[in-house]
Amino acid sequence: MSEYENHPFDRLSPDLLIDAVESLGFVSDGRLLALNSYENRVYQIGIEEKTPMIVKFYRPERWSREQILEEHAFCFDLLEQELPVVAPWVSADGASLNSYDGFSFALYERRGGHAPELDNLDNLFILGRLMGRIHGIGAARPFKYRPQLDSQAFGWDSFKLISDGFMPDGLRLAYDSLALDILKKIDQILADYGPIKRIRVHGDCHSGNILWRDDNPHFVDFDDARMAPAIQDLWMLLSGDRFEQTAQMAEIVEGYSEFYDFDLRELQLIEVMRTLRIMHHSAWIAKRWSDPAFPRAFSWFNSPRYWSDHILELREQLAALNEPPIALMR
């Protein structure tokens, strides 16, 4: 038996997908377009005499029903305050999470747009204002069921998975030594920082999850929403060298602070969040390697060259963790 057989998404045939959407009262015209999503399965589906819709089938056993509904509720909280988020479609009986033949799925309105130009300071000011509004609402109450971003789940667990099951023998010693140094440094930084204020955040706020059109951004895909420091949604908007990132963060914080106070101490956490994301991203692909969509999409993964480059990237991150954080004028 192949290691890729009997994956849950194997049953997600075009007929099942269309039947699931039509079970909600829509009539599909049969047009389907698979979108670039691997954690879940996301499709554009044609609807007769209407604009196509987006349907997302959640990965079985990743999130509980309660966790998915918390994601949706966060989107509805933001939408209620007229924030530009793409929230799930809601049926006449108030349901946003649907089930069909063992799959949980949600429908979304299709929105067009392109990734924002993050080297444009005016765009960053606009995004900062919106993130300030989002975080003001995110801080109003915590998630009850969704997890928090911490060094255990994103760092230590990722290290163990990679070291035990994926790192080539010839590189394991170097990887283990480096990863342990990094994780100890991160835990030291977090201990020195003290209590972290965690709020509901988007969690995966990179440019691919922001649709920009006519100077108006829309935020999509809250699938990674969790409890985390506010900086988690801001650092991914940065690019370039230290000087450029400082100017960019200043613009973001200026817009952000119009709607929600930003604790400048969180700048100390930028490289911590970046490093944890790098470690977690490799572990995420590794954890999903039995899903045939992943070897197809990430064919470069799990080769000696990949792991050598990963170790080099982590060495650069260890150096960054030992540098002073970027600083803004109060």
Choosing from 221, 223, 233, 291, the catalytic residue is 221
Q: Which of 77, 204, 233, 291 is catalytic?
A: 204
Asked if 134 and 203 touch (Cβ cutoff 8 Å), the reply is: no
Residue owning tokens 């997302």:
56
Strand partners for 45: 32, 53
Other Cβ atoms within 10 Å of 211 Cβ, number: 19
The DSSP result for 202-249, as a single string, is: -S--SGGGEEEETTEEEE---TT-EEE-GGGGTGGG--SSHHHHHHHH
Is residue 15 annotated as a catalytic residue, yes or no?
no
Q: 270-287 and 157-165 helices cross at what angle (nearest 10)?
A: 40
- Phi then psi for 85, rounded to 5 degrees? -120, 150
Contact 303, 224 (CB under 8 A): no
Tokens 């106070």, residue located: 261
119 is catalytic: no
Q: Which residues are catalytic?
A: 204, 221
